Amino acid sequence: MDVQSVAAPAIAYGGPAVAVAGGLSFLFLKTYLSQQRANPNRLPSLPVVPGVPLLGNLLELKEKKPYKTFTKWAETYGPIYSIKTGATSMVVAMVTKFDSISTRKLSKALRILTADKTMVAMSDYDDYHKTVKRNILTSILGPAARKKHRAHRDTMAENLSSQLHALAPRSSHEPINLRKLFQSELFTLALKQVFGKDIDSLYVDDLGVTMPREEVFQVLVLDPMMGAIEVDWRDFFPYLKWIPNTGFEHKIEQMYIRREAVMKALIQEHTKRIHSGENLNSYLDYLLSEAQPLTEKQLLMSLWEPIIETADTTMVTTEWAMYELARNPKRQDRLYEEIRNVCGSEKITEEKLCKMPYLSAVFHETLRRHSPVSIIPLRYVHENTVLGGYHVPAGTELAINIYGCNMEKEIWENPEEWNPERFLAENEPIDLQRTMAFGGGKRVCAGAMQAMLLACVGIGRMVQEFEWRLDDDTGEDVNTLGLTTQKLNPMHAIIKPRK
């Protein structure tokens, strides 16, 4: 039996564990949360999913979509339960703001690739987390920073539009690969925000090679996303960590070394441009001149994080939204009419998004139905906690099943259906935390507003300028081999410019 292949999905989102299995919505669960220290003898024990000796429930997690398995178990054992993954236990639940579980618990692969939590998304909630989050908000993602980078986002929208118009005449013979186009434009945006300039190629001194842009993207974005869920079987059996796992260690370390070399080369290129008199006004400039001093490792990770996060999750949401609109002509027409009524003959802009509730509903329904990250990386309970009426002792590991929350039938009517109209039923602004896509509380995603602007303007411009239909509807095929739940196969569409 190949333990590694069996274990893969179980630690895909952060390592070995205790899974608190989550069909439970935040609204329901938070009424049961307490920070009181409790006597475990006075509280019931967590329901346990039966497993087999030694492996526990690993054999039942063969499917590479653990969030669906967790949701199915919740129907039998309730919204909170415990499973065994090898030598450890795991609990799966829906929580967003809870001091005792704000600490990350990472797999061996994630510990290496995040330089031992040296980034906002994976760091513990401590002084370092607060510092690097403040840096990225000040220079890239906060209100003033978004205004500063507005020209880059507008250029991105224009470039995407121009490419689609160039490809449209032959799309009936060569369907559009939206993922390839949009992801490339997002990568360009990220490079401009971080380093002030895009690249065509890059000489990497530490590796002694010149990389084309596509290879730089592979090293900085695609490889780490896949490497993040690589399995070290020792994560399941920590008492055997003394046994070497040479193949795994070499693969992940090479990813780290190559990424570090490329980031150093990008910094070197930036330094040359500064010395030549260019004024780039980039994130790197801010970190070197105005921010609290960082070590070299912290600087590299601070620069790399907005690149990978900009170039992946926003693409996943936008592609799913366009897929759903392409196979729902009536909803696509409704969105087009809203855009036309608001914008007339003018192009859609960020200022006009607030006047288009249906576009907002399309965005949020896509986040609900196709959660970009279905299971949040594991968290670690560092003090005794009461969760859903159960005692959860310090040391427990928690997996938060966003998919289960968004598929809960008691909260969402016909949750399997993609139905933007469900977000138009309330006469109040849509709560960004309702679908849990951006987390919540003190660990809420710093890039939530930029992601919404990029996705909504992108979706709006594409529907405003083109009619979309699928070339071949392969169904809701989902790939969870990476950290995000993108379509297994890129969306291929036939587009027709609107009159």
Distance CA(138)–CA(422), nearest Å, equals 35
For 316-327, the pLDDT digits (tens) are 999 999 999 999
Q: What is the mean pLDDT of residues 106-134?
A: 88
Span 93-102, average pLDDT = 55
With cut-offs at 50, 70 and 90, classify the pLDDT of residue 396. confident
* Predicted local confidence at residue 448, as pLDDT: 87
pLDDT at 71 over 90: no
> Is pLDDT at 95 greater than 60 in this prediction?
no
pLDDT category at 465 given cuts 50, 70, 90 is: very high
Instruction: Of 313-327, 368-382, 460-474, give the lowest mean pLDDT range.
Output: 368-382
Query: Is pLDDT above 80 for 109?
Result: yes
The pTM of the full predicted model, rounded to 2 decimals, is 0.84
Mean pLDDT across the stretch 331-355? 96
- Check whether 244 has a pLDDT greater than 50: yes
User: CA 21 → CA 90, 310, 329, distances in Å?
Assistant: 9, 29, 36
Mean pLDDT over 418-436 rounds to 77
Instruction: Please check the confidence at residue 181 and state whether its pLDDT lies above 90.
Output: yes
pLDDT band, residue 5 (cuts 50/70/90): very low
- Of 89 and 192, the structure prediction assigns the larger pLDDT to 192
Query: In the prediction, which pLDDT does 204 show?
Result: 97
Confidence of residue 32 (pLDDT cuts 50, 70, 90): very low
pLDDT-wise least confident of 199-208, 222-231, 435-444: 435-444
Reported as a pLDDT band with limits 50, 70 and 90, residue 13 is: very low
d(CA 326, CA 322) in angstroms, rounded, equals: 6
Q: Which residue has the tokens 């602007």?
A: 453
Work out whether strand 397-401 and strand 478-479 pair parallel, antiparallel, or are unpaired: unpaired
More confident residue, 197 or 389: 197
pLDDT of res. 476: 60
What local confidence, expressed as pLDDT, does residue 2 receive? Answer: 42
pLDDT for residue 365: 95
Most confident listed range (290-304, 333-347, 431-445)? 333-347
- In this predicted structure, the answer to whether residue 28 has a pLDDT above a threshold of 60 is no
- Between 426 and 122, residue with greater pLDDT: 122
3-state secondary structure string across the chain: CCHHHHHHHHHCCCCCCCECCCCCCHHHHCCCCECCCCCHHHCCCCCECCCECCCECHHHHCCCCHHHHHHHHHHHHCCCCEEEECCEEEEECCCCCCHHHCEECCCHHHHHHCCCCCCCCCCCCCHHHHHHHHHHHHHHHCHHHHHHCHHHHHHHHHHHHHHHHHHHHHCCCCCEEHHHHHHHHHHHHHHHHHHCCCCCEEEECCCCEEEEHHHHHHHHHHHHHHHCCCCCHHHCCHHHCCCCCHHHHHHHHHHHHHHHHHHHHHHHHHHHHHHCCCCCCCHHHHHHHCCCCCCHHHHHHHHHHHHHHHHHHHHHHHHHHHHHHHCCHHHHHHHHHHHHHHHCCCCCCHHHHHHCHHHHHHHHHHHHHCCCCCEEEEEECCCCEEECCEEECCCCEEEEEHHHHHCCCCCCCCCCCCCHHHHHCCCCCCCCCCCCCCCCHHHCCCCHHHHHHHHHHHHHHHHHHEEEEECCCCCCCEECCCCCCEECCCCEEEEEECC
Q: How far is CA 328 from CA 169, 406, 467, 468, 470, in A?
A: 22, 21, 11, 10, 10
Provide mean pLDDT across the span 90-106.
Answer: 64
> Above 50 in pLDDT, residue 332?
yes
- In terms of average pLDDT, the best of 89-98, 187-196, 372-381, 424-433 is 187-196
Residue carrying the six token digits 């539009």? 161
Q: What percent of the chain has pLDDT over 70?
A: 84
pLDDT higher than 50, residue 23: no
In one-letter notation, the amino acid at residue 43 is L
Lowest mean pLDDT among 216-220, 231-235, 263-267: 231-235
Q: For position 292, what pLDDT does the model report? A: 86
Confidence (pLDDT) at 430: 62
Contact 110, 88 (CB under 8 A): no
Residue 461, pLDDT score: 97
Q: Tell me: is residue 445 an annotated ligand-binding position.
A: yes
Average pLDDT, the chain: 83
